[in-house]
Amino acid sequence: MKSINPTNGEIIREYQEHTYTDVRLIIENAYQAWSDWKERSFESRSALIKKTAQALRDGKEQYARLMTLEMGKLLRESMAEIEKCAIVCDFYADHAAEILQDEEIKSDASRSFITYQPLGVILAVMPWNFPFWQVFRFAAPALMAGNSVLLKHASNVPGCALAIENIFTVAGFPNGIFKTLMIPSAGVDQVIAHPRVRAVSLTGSESAGSHVASLAGKYIKKSLLELGGSDPFIILEDADMEATIKSAVNARMINQGQSCIASKRFIVVKSRVQEFESGLETAFDKLIIGNPLEEKTQVGPLARADLVDEIERQVLSSVESGARLVSGGKRPSRAGCYYKPTILSDVKYGMAVYHEETFGPVAVIIPVDNEAEAIRVANDSEFGLGGCVWTTDLRRGEAVARKIISGAMFVNGMTKSDPRLPFGGVGKSGYGRELGSNGIKEFMNIKTIWIG
């Protein structure tokens, strides 16, 4: 396994993969550790999760730099990601016991109630774009609930994967409760098939999700999928355009546009298209491309060379189909996996960027006649992860938000995740929920007890 710096293409380090014999031993250890872990009190687990949050904060600079080196995230975004991981640990350490307390239900029994019990060993298949956050938003609730966790991380961030395992070790977790599997994607099948593994959570591509879900179904195991998105950013005629443009830049360019909940389709009522397009172009042209370790940099590299090839294909194909290139649309003349911030306008049905997820710094503007057409276009997608609507009429914004088919909608704010709120999608964006009270219950046996 090679860790390659996308800023310059240099190999950072090579890592030895686990053999399947190693993997089987790790799984067995995880199961044996879970047998004791599930009996621990919430107070005992909470104390260790709190120590995990502290370990993250203590090593923030070290972990942030590692993220930036391995996948190109701006250093300040990496720092914020580490803090967010600590926050999610604190949230579940403080609230898991309350969320998972027994629930009394009136029935024909003298007493009946629901109790929540952990499933066991859970496999987490995680992506590279938020290499710490994606893991901790799953692991914090899963561990607080009494499960043990196996991590199969993306192959281009092996350093992050091992660093995360070490954080749990430093925090004092029992051996085997959290373990990184250094295996390629092809090795996931055997892990899911193992009888000790009871469920799988995947954040990643549509194709990976389909494959993992089919295997989980074959072996009758719980699965949760958080897949891609093509989030709509709806701008109505009464939007505050200055605030809208400012948010649009952040919503599209976070993590170089490599986020499942980054706004990707800017659906704009025609009377405001020119104003929005001009303002977005001005903002994009001012963005500074450079080394993500440097404070002045606003646009870093994409995580891998093949991702640059894919975003370039989508842009060229759409321009050939009639989309208007407003700005960008090419690679800058520098080494590394860079692509210029790009705006495509006059985008219509049938173009690649209308239908496909654009995982990079490309903003797609789709003009519409009115609110009704904006809703129709927003829902004209196989994805359904998040989205937002911009209007000075909050009641109108709420009404529009209710009509969009997605896992979340934001009114006058960019789509984001919050430990207190459930997160997930519908359609080809996946199923199940992470975060909030819903997220910690995903990998529990929701058990009815009836007493006559």
User: pLDDT tens, 234-271?
Assistant: 999 999 999 999 999 999 999 999 999 999 999 999 99
pTM, entire model: 0.97
Q: Which of 62, 38, 64, 203 is nearest to 137 (CA)?
A: 203
Task: State the amino acid at position 337 in one-letter form.
Answer: C
Whether 385 and 228 have beta carbons less than 8 Å apart is answered as yes
The confidence score (pLDDT) of residue 56 equals 98
Say which of 226, 371, 434, 442 is annotated catalytic.
Answer: 226
- What are 345-395's pLDDT values in tens digits? 999 999 999 999 999 999 999 999 999 999 999 999 999 999 999 999 999
Report residue 288's pLDDT band, with 50, 70 and 90 as the boundaries.
very high
> What is the mean predicted confidence (pLDDT) over 283-296?
98
Q: What is the pLDDT of residue 40?
A: 98
pLDDT of residue 269: 98
Confidence bin at 336 (pLDDT 50/70/90): very high
In this structure, how many other beta carbons lie within 10 angstroms of the beta carbon of residue 288? Answer: 9
CATH 3.30.1330.20 fits 2-228+426-451, yes or no: no
| pLDDT value, residue 15 | 97
User: pLDDT tens digits for 387-431?
Assistant: 999 999 999 999 999 999 999 999 999 999 999 999 999 999 999
Q: What is the mean pLDDT of residues 168-172?
A: 98
Q: Which CATH class is domain 231-382+386-411?
A: alpha beta
Look up 226 and say whether it is catalytic. Answer: yes
The fraction of the chain above a pLDDT of 90, given in percent, is 100
pLDDT confidence band for 189 (50 / 70 / 90) = very high
pLDDT value at position 176? Answer: 98
- Which pLDDT score is estimated for 393? 98
Q: Per-residue confidence at 195, pLDDT binned at 50, 70, 90?
A: very high
Output the pLDDT for position 348. 98
Report the alpha-carbon distance of residue 170 to residue 172 in Å, rounded: 5
Length of the chain: 452
Q: Where are the beta strands (DSSP E) in 210-271?
A: 222-226, 231-235, 263-269
Annotated active-site residue in 160, 260, 337, 388: 260
Instruction: Identify residue 80 by its one-letter amino acid code.
Output: A
Confidence of residue 127 (pLDDT cuts 50, 70, 90): very high
Q: Would you state the pLDDT for residue 133?
A: 98
In the chain, CATH 3.40.309.10 sits at 231-382+386-411
Cα 11 to Cα 298: distance, rounded to the nearest angstrom: 24
- Quote the tokens at residue 281: 């172009």
Return the pLDDT at 199: 98
Cα–Cα dist 168/183, whole Å: 20
Listed in order, the ranges of the chain carrying CATH 3.40.605.10 are 2-228+426-451
Mean pLDDT of 275-301: 98
* Mean pLDDT of all residues belonging to the chain: 98
Please state, in angstroms and rounded to a whole number, the distance separating the CA atoms of residues 263 and 358. 10
pLDDT band at 86 (very low <50, low <70, confident <90, very high): very high
Tell me if residue 260 is catalytic: yes
Give backbone dihedrals phi and psi of 302, rounded to 5 degrees, phi first: -75, 165
Q: What is the pLDDT of residue 328?
A: 98
The H or E element that residue 18 is part of is none
Distance CA 52, CA 64 (A): 16
Let me know: does 125 contact 201? Beta carbons within 8 Å.
yes
Provide CB contacts within 8 A for 388, sequence distance 6+. Answer: 231, 232, 233, 234, 247, 251, 263, 409, 410, 411, 412, 413, 414, 415
Considering only CA atoms, which of 314, 318, 298 is closest in space to residue 306? Answer: 314
**Integer angstrom CA distances of residue 1 from 18, 184, 307, 431:** 10, 8, 19, 30
Position 436 confidence tier, pLDDT thresholds 50, 70, 90: very high
CB atoms within 10 A of CB 106: 8
Rounded to 10°, the helix 394-403/371-378 angle is 40
The reported pLDDT for the residue numbered 309 is 98
Q: 3-class DSSP state for residue 214?
A: helix
